[in-house]
Structure 1
Amino acid sequence: MVQFKSNNRQELDINLITVLIGGLISTIIIYLLLLPFQESYIGILLYQRGFTQHLAIFFASIVVIITINKYLIITKEKNILKNIGIPEKISFENHKSKQLQYLHEDFARNYSMITGRLSRILNAYILSGSRKIVTELALDDSSFYLSSSESSYALPRILVWAIPLLGFIGTVLGISQAVNGFNGFLDNSAEIEQIKEGITTVTTGLAIAFDTTLLALFLSVMVMIPLVLIERMESQLLLATEIYINDHILPRLIENNHPQQSILNTDTLIKNINDAIDNKLPTKEELIQPIRDALPTPQDLINPAEIYAKEAAKKLMTEFINQLKEIQTKQVELIDSIKETNQIILKDGNLSRRNDFDKLTKYYILSLVFFALVILLSLIFK
């Protein structure tokens, strides 16, 4: 598996601890080299003009080390930009192609500002397939590097500004020493030797005042000019990088016409979230099944009603049969009565009464049938 170096977008920055240690070592080396020349003008300037001279040398050494490191980094980045190139045979039409994957891995493997930016651009294009998204990323990247470049020069600018202030502090101290020596000279002006001593003290204080200012102004000018040039070189490097990206990378990218295929697309993200929820959470059937198991089945609800209906039907049929038996009994009794009546009529020989009796018999029979139907209906709708 390919291992990539971490990229925190600080390829052009300088390590502060390294710079401070380097400045301290440079200051010590300068004073050690000039140790045999303490009596010379430069030796006197560095060794006999107070602590402000040491601080000025230390601050100037820090600025010089930052400038040198920046120069080396910028020179390296310029060489990479000059030699870098994406072959024309590599196609950007398919943002998932193996060629783009290999190119992205190759850029990510090399730790530099140029390759880091190209790696992020290719990675965004591989993931999104959208030129618009890649362009926005490139703009954000550019803004970040401009801000980072501006902030990386904050420390050397402060030191360049502080070096003349150290010279002014030395001037104040020297003038103060000269004034104090002049006051002592006036108090002890009786003897020639004392006068010489007083004059020496005054001139020494004035020498400190002027020498500290001289060294501070000289150092600030000497370190400020290279620093400005290096800052300009870094701005040109960032501009050249932007030109390369906009002229050779972004025009070759193709806008994806099917945004739903992009994993950065909103619809796709929503779909992926829904799929994850569907795979992790129980389905509706799984949630409803325990409730179904706890509730009685339709057959369990129907069985009691079915049993009751069967029992009611049996009871109804029993009562109906009993009523039919009673009707049959009444019918037999009625027929016997009719037979007796007919015998009486035959004996009397009265035909008219016989006809009337036949009609009456018909009415009785109809009434009996009607009565049976009423009983049957009452049993049915009971």
Structure 2
Amino acid sequence: MDGGFSGQVPKGWASRIIFCGGTGCHPGHFPAEIACAIHPPFQTGTPRRYKTRRKPSNPRRTMEFQCPHCGINMTTEDANAGEQVACPSCSGKFQIPSLSPTAPLKSTKKARHKLRGGWDEEDHANISFLLSLGIGVAVTALFLVMLIPFKGQPWSDIFLKRGWVNYAEVFLFVWGIVILALKWRKSRHQRNAMLLDVAPTSLGAEINAETVADFVDHIYKLPMQLRDSLMVNRIRKGLELFEKRNDNGEVTVILNAQSDIDANRITGSYTLLKVFLWAIPILGFIGTVQGLSQAVGSLSAGGTDPEALKASINNLTSGLGIAFDTTLLGLVLSMIMSFPMAAMQKEEEETLTLIDAFCAEKLLPRLNDSKTSGHDNILAQAESLPAFASSLMQAHEVFLVNLNHATEMLSQAGETLQRRLDSHQTHVEGAFIQSINRLTTETRETLTKPTVEMSHYLETLSKGITSLDETLRKLGGETIVVKKKGLFSR
């Protein structure tokens, strides 16, 4: 297997010792200029300067060499000559050779002009739905089982004793985190692939019709574990098109189109996560409404018995606390998931930006289709400047007209939306106030009705006793003391 690794090291990695953290890699270390491209550098040692082996007045040069074990091509600065390193591909230890006046890499011609059909490209943005779903179900079940020993604790009861809504919230949250973890693995693979030297200068300072086949063959010799990546796939397609059509303009078009495709694919990969982000708090609100309905139902079931009514009020207050736990959990989980989601999206967009910058700054300037010289291009552009300026002014006028029209439509839509929002808010507030007033009236009537009936009964009883006392006084001429029984016994 033949390939190459680039000296394009991310900013801040220069002059550092990189320890490979990948499984199967050699535990040794090697300079950052040939950092391991199979596994990311999880740990970095303390910065140090390499000993200069040439006079300080001489500028540094890039030297190219091969691994004596697997033959992979690598590049580094000549100041690192003589360093003991480990190959990022086969993990074999060897010493960087000294710089020779002319040490061009031997290119293999056996595979040139062979039939190339590319390779099966993996979706580098979207995660397998069934895989993430299975892992999410397993992790959710494991998490809930681990909480069983802590049953009875307030924080544990939020997950275990609040009904199906909290289970659904936890499952969606875990599923989203699993998707982000799998996307992070894919993004790490893209970062590692960016260390590959996909267009080495040893094959030619420029890429033309005669040398493009060597560059395409070089891409097909890159390590299999890093070949299928966004950057390598995009450059391979551009070079293969240049090999067939020999046109810089068409290569630029296909690179821009592939960039748009990759960006749209990454943006679309977050659709399900965005659904989770608003579905989790919505589930919390549903659980709260469900708890409120059950609490109000227990209040109405109390009847007219004062003791039962008091117990139902206690159940209402406790039920409200339980009901709002679902909303609290939903808001907390959605907020926690939003931070890694934003960070992951930023990292993927930054990777695409770096790939676009490499294609625009490193690859396209080296393409030479030999169709027109620079002088002819300047003359042609100078002749077309008046027509271009005229068309630009016309396009600008059309743009201003369309912009004014769009602004008016947007303003009208905003006014319509504001009116609808005001109407909806008024309707919701009125309905809510009516519900509160009705509940207050029913509660007051339920509480005062037994008191009124009891007062009426006591008043009737008092009148009867008074009437009986007067009757006895008239009959016997003396007052008869009546002993009170029941509620009025002494």
Shift of 1:150: 1.0
* Structure 2 residue 340 is the aligned partner of structure 1 residue 223: no
Alpha-carbon displacement from aligned partner over 1:191-213 (angstroms, at most 9, x marks no partner): xxx46742453234212321001
Contact 2:259/2:356, CA 8 A, preserved across alignment: yes
Instruction: Give 1:165 deviation, angstroms.
Output: 0.2
**TM-score normalised by L of structure 1:** 0.62
Report deviation, 1:28. 0.5
Higher helix proportion (structure 1 or 2): 1
Q: Quote the Cα distance in structure 2 between the aligned partners of 1:20 and 1:131.
A: 45
Match of 1:116 in 2: 233
Q: CA separation of 1:93/1:186 partners in 2, compared to 1, >3 Å: closer, same or farther? A: same
Shift of 1:121: 1.5
* CA distance, structure 2, for counterparts of residue 26 and residue 3 of structure 1: 41
Amino acid aligned to 1:211:
D
User: Could you tell me how far apart the structure 2 residues matched to 1:167 and 1:69 are?
Assistant: 27
Quick check: 1:77 aligned with 2:190? yes
Asked if the contact 2:176/2:337 (under 8 Å) is kept, the reply is yes
Distance between the aligned counterparts of 2:210 and 2:162, measured in 1? 67
Aligned to 2:135: 22
From 58, 68, 87, the equivalent of 2:171 is: 58
Specify which of 235, 246, 270 is matched with residue 153 of structure 1: 270
- Cα 1:147/1:108, change in 2 over 3 Å: farther
Q: What's the counterpart of residue 100 of structure 2?
A: none
Could you tell me which residue of structure 2 aligns to residue 271 of structure 1?
Answer: none
Task: Give the Cα separation in 1 of the matches to 2:198 and 2:262.
Answer: 21
Distance between the aligned counterparts of 2:150 and 2:297, measured in 1? Answer: 30
Aligned amino acid, residue 153 of structure 1: Y
Instruction: Answer yes or no: is the 8 Å Cα contact 1:189–1:195 preserved in 2.
Output: yes
Give the conservation status (yes or no) of the 8 Å contact 1:12–1:113: no
| Aligned residue number for residue 100 of structure 1 | 215
Aligned equivalents of 1:242 and 1:201: distance in 2? Answer: 62
- The size of the alignment, in residue pairs, is 254
The 8 Å contact of residues 4 and 108 in structure 1, kept in 2 or not, is answered as: no
Q: Specify whether residues 195 and 121 from structure 1 end up closer, same or farther in structure 2 by C-alpha distance, changes over 3 A only.
A: same
The answer for the alignment partner of 2:201 in structure 1 is: 88
Give 2:359's match in structure 1, choosing from 245, 254, 266: 245
Q: For the residues of structure 2 that align with 1:189 and 1:113, how far apart are their CA atoms? A: 73
- How far off is 1:3 after superposition? 8.0
Q: Please give the per-residue CA displacement for 1:5-46, whole angstroms capped at 9, x wherever unaligned.
A: 3126x2122111111111111111110110111211122101
Q: How does 1:118-137 map to 2 (within 5 A)?
A: 118-137=235-254
The CA deviation string for residues 207-233 of structure 1, in whole angstroms up to 9 with x for no partner, is 232100110000000001110111111
Counterpart-to-counterpart distance in 1, 2:347 and 2:216: 32
Give 1 or 2: higher strand fraction. Answer: 2
Residues 5 and 108 in structure 1, CA contact (< 8 A), matched pair in contact too: no
28 and 41 in structure 1: CA distance in 2 versus 1, 3 angstrom threshold: same
Could you tell me how far 1:79 is from its partner in structure 2? 2.4
1:177 paired with 2:291, answer: no
Show the 5 A alignment for 1:39-58. Answer: 39-58=152-171
Show structure 1 runs of 4+ deviating over 4 A.
1-4, 95-98, 194-197
Q: CA RMSD in A?
A: 2.2
Asked if residue 257 in structure 1 is aligned to residue 371 in structure 2, the reply is yes
Deviation of 1:85 (Å): 4.8
Q: Quick check: 1:108–1:116 contact (8 Å CA) kept in 2?
A: no
Counterpart Cα distance in 1 of 2:347 and 2:303: 58
Equivalent-residue separation in structure 2 for 1:75 and 1:175 (angstroms): 47
C-alpha change, 1:97 and 1:178, in structure 2 (3 Å) is closer
One-letter amino acid of the counterpart of residue 249, structure 1: L
> Which consecutive residues of structure 2, in runs of 5 or more, have no partner in the other structure?
1-113, 373-490
Query: Separation in 2 of the partners of 1:84 and 1:30?
Result: 44
Q: Tell me the amino acid that sits aligned with residue 209 of structure 2.
A: N
User: Within 1, Cα distance between the matches of 2:338 and 2:304?
Assistant: 46
Task: Classify the secondary structure of the residue corresponding to 2:368.
Answer: coil
Match of 2:15 in 1: none
Report percent identity of matched pairs: 24
Residue type at the aligned position of 1:237 = T
Tell me what 1:143 maps to.
260
TM-score by length of 2: 0.49
Q: Which residue matches 2:282?
A: 165
Q: Which moved more, 1:114-123 or 1:151-160?
A: 114-123
* Partner AA of 2:245 in structure 1: S
Amino acid at match of 1:47: L
CA distance in 2, matches of 1:13, 1:28: 24
The separation in 2 between residues aligned to 1:153 and 1:234, in whole angstroms, is 11
Aligned residues of 1:131 and 1:256 also touching (Cα < 8 A): no
- 8 Å contact kept, 1:177–1:201: no
Higher relative contact order (CA 8 A, sep 6+): 1
Amino acid at match of 2:238: I
Do the aligned partners of 1:172 and 1:209 also contact (CA within 8 Å) in 2?
yes
User: Which residue in the other structure is 2:151 paired with?
Assistant: 38
CA distance in 1, matches of 2:233, 2:212: 20
Structure 2 letter corresponding to 1:217? L
Counterparts of 1:182-193 in structure 2 under 5 Å?
A: 182-190=299-307
CA–CA distance in structure 1, aligned partners of residues 222 and 310 of structure 2 = 74
Match of 1:276 in 2: none
Q: 1:108 to 1:200 in 2, by over 3 A?
A: same
